Structure 1
Amino acid sequence: MARCYSGFVPNRHPPLPQIWLISDARNDAALERALARLPRGSGLIYRHYHLPPADRRARFELLRRIARRFGHCVVLSGSAREARAWRADGAYAAAEKLASGPATLRLITVHSLRELAAAHRSRADAVLLSPVFPTRSHPGAASLGRVRFHLLAARAGVPAIALGGMTVHRARTLPSRKWAAIQGLAS
């Protein structure tokens, strides 16, 4: 059972945080400060693929303690089994990686209708629809835009979290109030 949700039942539309900070090498130096500034009860999706395994785990433990101090949900980018072993509140990955494993909060990244169908088969509790806007992570890549984001979100059947080029201002222009950012929250 996830700790950051009272009464959480997997695959039953949990009361997810509105704002999610996603970690990586670009925002690592600002994470402690960013976690302290986020509204209480926000979420952290911990990636940190750039670190060797032991360092990645140590950094996770530190950030998890800080996040918990502010009442934030902590989700590990990895399998459901890894998320349980690391005492995370859930797992974040592509649908294929979360298709099996123990019951836990499952956040699945989605870029298309095909991936949305795969997310449903993988028991997604929420989907991160991406990229909504042009993003520094993928310069020149096509983005969903507001209309396509809305159409995918309407078909999601689970909470949709906007990701990609997100800022506070852009989040206010979308029908979904749930959003995530890498650099947009850590600067």
Structure 2
Amino acid sequence: MAGSFMARCYSDPMSPRHPVSKIWLVSDARNDAALERALKHLPRGSGLIFRHYHLSPPERRARFKQLRRLARQHGHRLVLSGSAAEARRWGADGAYGADLSAGGSTLRLVTVHSLRELRRAHRADAVLLSPVFPTRSHPGGKVLGPVRWRTIAALSPVPVIALGGMTAPRSRRIGAKHWAGIDAFCGKANPGNSKDS
């Protein structure tokens, strides 16, 4: 099973069903106040993964609408953490989470932490492989590190987005074509070129 999966990944490179942005901003309670500024400074065509689990359903929907308007103004993609059906109802460009049942026009992103999880996510359009480096989200948690991240990413049949302690310089250092961050965009004048902290 493992051998055939690896052979397929190496021998049959797949073009993505949906274009995948190079830079992704992941929303969180701690970066909410910086989202407007970050969206204005991100390179056109970047993406926002809207989570906002800390808000009540009505507040979450209202905040989503605010950020959707700004994302559209700056040419960014907006992905909702939820089902593909919910993402379509809310007017998002895609869905983020474990629900990979629906395809079609909805971009589907899912986070994976190992090769085993990557195998189960083959129906996603792209995966966030995490955590590459230590993060504030999971202090003291186990990390993949650059070498293991590259090893797993090389086996993926879909585009891989690096997540976990990421910045633009770190993404270049590990050779990631796509990267995402939460804290990387807070208080930065130019998030796409942020320095290591």
Normalised to the residue count of structure 1, the TM-score between the two structures is: 0.89
Partner of 2:192: none
Deviation at 1:174, TM superposition (A): 1.6
Which of 79, 95, 117 is residue 115 of structure 1 equivalent to? 117
Count how many residue pairs are aligned between Structure 1 and Structure 2. Answer: 172
Partner of 2:91: 87
Partner of 1:127: 127
Distance 2:28 2:169 in 1: 22
Identity level (%): 65
Unaligned runs of 5+ in 2: 1-13, 188-197
Report if aligned partners of 2:26, 2:50 keep a CA contact under 8 Å in 1.
yes
Partner of 1:3: none
Unaligned runs of 5+ in 1: 1-10
Instruction: Select the structure of larger CA radius of gyration.
Output: 2
Which of 17, 34, 37 is residue 38 of structure 2 equivalent to? 34
Distance 1:110 1:86 in 2: 25
Q: Residue by residue, what CA displacement relative to the aligned partner does 1:56-99 show, whole Å, maximum 9, x if unpaired?
A: 000000000001100000000111111111110000113xxx13
Distance 1:24 1:145 in 2: 23
Which secondary structure state, in structure 1, belongs to the residue aligned with residue 185 of structure 2? coil
Deviation at 1:102, TM superposition (A): 4.8
Distance 1:45 1:162 in 2: 14
Q: Which has the higher helix share?
A: 2
Distance 1:106 1:133 in 2: 24
Which secondary structure state, in structure 2, belongs to the residue aligned with residue 26 of structure 1? helix
Report if aligned partners of 1:67, 1:73 keep a CA contact under 8 Å in 2.
yes
| 1:99–1:17 distance in 2 versus 1, CA, 3 Å | closer
Report if aligned partners of 2:100, 2:108 keep a CA contact under 8 Å in 1.
no
Which secondary structure state, in structure 1, belongs to the residue aligned with residue 140 of structure 2? coil
Report if aligned partners of 1:110, 1:127 keep a CA contact under 8 Å in 2.
yes
Following TM superposition, where does structure 1 have runs of at least 4 consecutive aligned residues deviating by more than 3 angstroms?
none
Partner of 2:154: 154
Partner of 2:3: none
RMSD of Structure 2 on Structure 1 (CA): 1.2
